[in-house]
Amino acid sequence: MPRESQARRRARADLIRERLRLTYPDARCELNYSSPLELLVATILSAQCSDKQVNRLTADLFQKYRSAQDYAAAPRAELEDDLRRIGLFRNKARSLRGCCRRLVEEHGGQVPDALGTLTQLDGVGRKTANVVLGNAFGRNEGVVVDTHVARLTRRLALSRATQPERIERDLMALLPQEEWTLWSHRLIAHGRQRCPARKPDCAGCELRTWCPTGQAQGDR
């Protein structure tokens, strides 16, 4: 693709954003939760694990552990056993216990609504913090960059970066802040339904007009 000015890339991003809005008007966070703590826990558990797997697990987990204190006080072996159905359960149990201990000791058991504070918790990186802030608190502090968002952002030539932090900065410069959370939900939906990694449906893609990669593939 010829080098594109930032102004032209922003205009193309606006067209993509509008088409995503029309195509996926009901896109939302796929993790089940009823409180900021539940979303925080579910997001920590979702690392290298599908949302469906996490939702099946948390249906029982959230009945047993109802507060940060419950996780913090849980015996390590018991919490590990409760998480055994998902991958990396030992590491995730350790992160949950450490995270919730800090919530109890430093935040009265409540999930903070500030990016810098959230990322100081065990098991919470920028992506997890953005998920919690955007969905539980309605605060657009950043763009969630998961594997779908990273892959489609490069495929759409909206960023040449490979690191999530760089991709996020590029997207933040292209998109209106009030759309940051919804952009991720809609792009994830598109990645799952129309543009999977192995066999993207370029011919039927709603974004094909503005996708250099899709045009190239579809015109062969």
Set 51, 146, 201, 219: catalytic member: 146
Is 52 annotated in the active site?
A: no
Is 92 annotated in the active site?
A: no
What single-letter amino acid sits at 65? Y
φ and ψ at residue 78, rounded to 5 degrees: -70, -45
Burial class of residue 160 (count of CB atoms within 10 Å of its CB; 0-12, 13-18, 19+): exposed
Set 26, 127, 199, 219: catalytic member: 127
| Residues contacting residue 200 through CB under 8 Å, at least 6 positions apart | 155, 194, 214, 217
What tokens were used for 147? 């594997």
Q: Point out the residues that are catalytic.
A: 127, 146
